[in-house]
Structure 1
Amino acid sequence: MYDFQTLKGKKILVTGGAGFIGSNLCEALLEQEAWVTCLDNFATGKRENIAPFLGNDHFTLIEGDIRDLDTCKKACEHKDFVLHQAALGSVPRSINDPVTSNEVNVGGFLKMLVAAKDAGVQRFIYAASSSTYGDSESLPKVEDIIGKPLSPYAITKYVDELYADVFKRTYDFDTIGLRYFNVFGRRQDPKGAYAAVIPKFVMQFMTHESPTINGGGEYSRDFTYIDNVVLMNLLALSSDNTEALNQVYNTAFGERTTLNDLVQYLKEYLAEFDPKIADIEVQYGEYRKGDVPHSLASIDKAKNLLNYNPKFSMKDGLKEAVTWYWNNLK
């Protein structure tokens, strides 16, 4: 259905390329025979995520920080495209340390934009966030209707969109922003204080612990499998539709799942490997500051302008992810 042959031989920089999403993008680009450079400071990225690529002649690692402009300029030299994934994620992390989140997510983003523009990069694709919708209660979320941000993290990701828009208006520099909705899948880290809910719960179930759901479990999310996100990035890179440029797109499946339902699916799929998991009870804690109650994306814009047709539903992706975690974390 999709032909990404135009990416063969292209020189592409992936910032945050050792992270969960970034390493999956590096892998997909190498499969397309692109020349891939990964820039990462390993603050949250993992060396094991890119270990399989280090022997590939088409892969280069630059260990450095996007907060350093010279590093950004070096990484952008002679590149056709940039996939900017480097960021400090997590709403709670941004609440606990808003200064560092801003330095990385806004300051680092701006330095990458400047470096890419100055280097003559053709197109700059960046990771935006569904957190930008803030307190908007409308469902599904449509790109041009947002509310007020509910966390420092959400502010940083919205500011990135504003900077990208200004760089088009001021410098005629082409960008595409992808508002990720609760991405999950292989290589997502289950450890640490800011681990995402799916790998964290999987890890707890596998060790027969009782996961704790924040609130009553009826908050809902548009959980999006990693392969759908990779597809969106490849489409954003290769699209020859000029109308598709300088836009932001929801990057999701377009389906809403409550946390209570998520837990039931996880127990069902994990119990196929370990029947005892089916009997593990969950606990309920306080609602978390900065959390958006409900999240559901309209993906019509991406379908119309980028020809996006996601292959994996949440449940299909969850089965894939659970199998990967079982085989890699036991």
Structure 2
Amino acid sequence: MSSTVLVTGGAGFIGAHLVPQLLDRGDRVRILDNMSRGDRGRIAAWVATGRVELVEQDIRYGGAVHQAMTGCDRVVHLAAVSINKSEADPYESIDINVVGSNNVFKAAADHGVRRVVFASSASVYGDPETLPMAEDGPLHPLTPYCIAKHTGEQLLDYYSRRSELSWFALRFFNVYGPGQKPTAYYTSVINHFVQRLRAGEPPVIDGEGAQSMDFVHVHDVARAIVMALDADAARADVPVNIGTGIDTSVAELARTLIAAVGVDVEPQFRPRDVLVSRRAADISRALDVLGWKPTIDLRTGMQDLVDSEIA
């Protein structure tokens, strides 16, 4: 059944992959975005279909959020200030990521929205004590961004207990793919390696390259969001990891990208003390609750990224 979905931050990286999936299944989409980083050309093409509306506003303004929420059945909340900017300006981070999120959730509850899907983050775990990282494991958010994501989950729980609203907080791991900004905090290493490889230079790795991440393709992330919009309300009101369950070391990433770019170089290792951290998601809840599992493996995804015009 088609519906009207409000997507905050829908002009951004994940929105660029989510909105087409929503349109393909017959939904109407209202994008609430301040367009500080959005692609106006892409938005204009969507609006021209007659099924997408842009509300150029900021989630910090409660009245604007309430107005944008009118007539929407479901909500995807993507809008946020990134993790690196949150440490540079904690005030703005709390203002947007906590106050803004509260505006979205409160408006959703007031308007009788039945489902909110919130873009949370694996950063709520901090440095994991064990792998894989499970939703019920210990949380140690370390920055204003991470703290705000955890707070957002708690706010959703608060409003769901006082309304008909149900929710999923999708804890995204290291999201990558075509269209990502070069400055993306957790995956900037990809862009750095690709730039060097395209210049015929080897990637330079600190230490032995044992530090790892769980890279999940943005197409699969968008799929997870769509599936969370439809999932059974009886299974809702929980956080859900969205990753691959595979911890890919920086050294392995470098070799995968060397093959994708097609250059004959070897990674260079820069001896230095490095805090080796590892990340890998326990994705059993995603399969159980959403019916979701990743479909794009690292090699295919990195080739897709390298081949894209925006990579």
Give the TM-score of the pair, scaled to structure 1. 0.86
- Sequence identity (%): 33
Structure 1 match to 2:22: 29
Tell me if structure 1 keeps the 8 A contact 2:18–2:223. Answer: no
State the alpha-carbon separation in 1 of the partners of residues 219 and 298 from structure 2. Answer: 11
State the alpha-carbon separation in 1 of the partners of residues 279 and 221 from structure 2. Answer: 17
Structure 2: runs of 5 or more not aligned: none
Instruction: Give yes or no for the alignment of 1:183 onto 2:169.
Output: no
Aligned-pair distance for 1:94? Answer: 1.9
Tell me if structure 2 keeps the 8 A contact 1:210–1:283. Answer: no
Tell me if structure 1 keeps the 8 A contact 2:205–2:267. Answer: no
Structure 2 match to 1:3: none
State the alpha-carbon separation in 2 of the partners of residues 110 and 269 from structure 1. Answer: 42
Deviates further, 26-35 or 308-317:
308-317
Instruction: Give yes or no for the alignment of 1:321 onto 2:308.
Output: no
State the alpha-carbon separation in 2 of the partners of residues 49 and 212 from structure 1. Answer: 35
Deviations 1:185-226 (A, max 9, x none): 121122588973323432343244665546652111110011
Structure 1 match to 2:239: 248
Taking a change above 3 Å as real, the CA distance of residues 268 and 33 of structure 1, as seen in their structure-2 partners, is same
Structure 1 match to 2:99: 107
What is the one-letter code of the residue matched to 2:250? L
Structure 1 match to 2:89: 97
What is the one-letter code of the residue matched to 2:35? F
Deviates further, 148-157 or 189-198:
189-198
Instruction: Give yes or no for the alignment of 1:88 onto 2:72.
Output: no
State the alpha-carbon separation in 2 of the partners of residues 287 and 119 from structure 1. Answer: 53
Aligned-pair distance for 1:145? Answer: 0.7
Any idea what SS the aligned residue of 2:5 has?
A: strand
State the alpha-carbon separation in 1 of the partners of residues 285 and 184 from structure 2. Answer: 35
Aligned-pair distance for 1:230? Answer: 1.2
Instruction: Give yes or no for the alignment of 1:120 onto 2:106.
Output: no
- What CA RMSD, in Å, does the superposition of the two structures yield over aligned residues? 2.4
Tell me if structure 1 keeps the 8 A contact 2:109–2:160. Answer: no
Deviations 1:223-275 (A, max 9, x none): 00112111111111112x2332111100111111011111111111011xxx3
Instruction: Give yes or no for the alignment of 1:73 onto 2:66.
Output: yes
State the alpha-carbon separation in 1 of the partners of residues 207 and 97 from structure 2. Answer: 28
Picking from 279, 296, 304, the partner of 2:280 is 296
Aligned-pair distance for 1:58? Answer: 0.4
State the alpha-carbon separation in 1 of the partners of residues 90 and 273 from structure 2. Answer: 20
What is the one-letter code of the residue matched to 2:255? Q
Taking a change above 3 Å as real, the CA distance of residues 27 and 218 of structure 1, as seen in their structure-2 partners, is same
Deviations 1:130-167 (A, max 9, x none): 00111331110110112322222211111111111111
State the alpha-carbon separation in 2 of the partners of residues 322 and 19 from structure 1. Answer: 20
Any idea what SS the aligned residue of 2:182 has?
A: coil
Tell me if structure 2 keeps the 8 A contact 1:20–1:49. Answer: no
State the alpha-carbon separation in 1 of the partners of residues 6 and 272 from structure 2. Answer: 41
What is the one-letter code of the residue matched to 2:36? A
Deviates further, 79-88 or 213-222:
213-222
State the alpha-carbon separation in 1 of the partners of residues 286 and 108 from structure 2. Answer: 24
Structure 1: runs of 5 or more not aligned: 1-5
State the alpha-carbon separation in 2 of the partners of residues 287 and 24 from structure 1. Answer: 38
Aligned-pair distance for 1:302? Answer: 1.0
Aligned-pair distance for 1:295? Answer: 0.8
Aligned-pair distance for 1:180? Answer: 0.2
State the alpha-carbon separation in 1 of the partners of residues 27 and 114 from structure 2. Answer: 15
What is the one-letter code of the residue matched to 2:50? D
Give the TM-score of the pair, scaled to structure 2. 0.91
State the alpha-carbon separation in 2 of the partners of residues 49 and 199 from structure 1. Answer: 22
Superposition pairs of residues 225-236 of structure 1, within 5 angstroms: 225-236=217-228
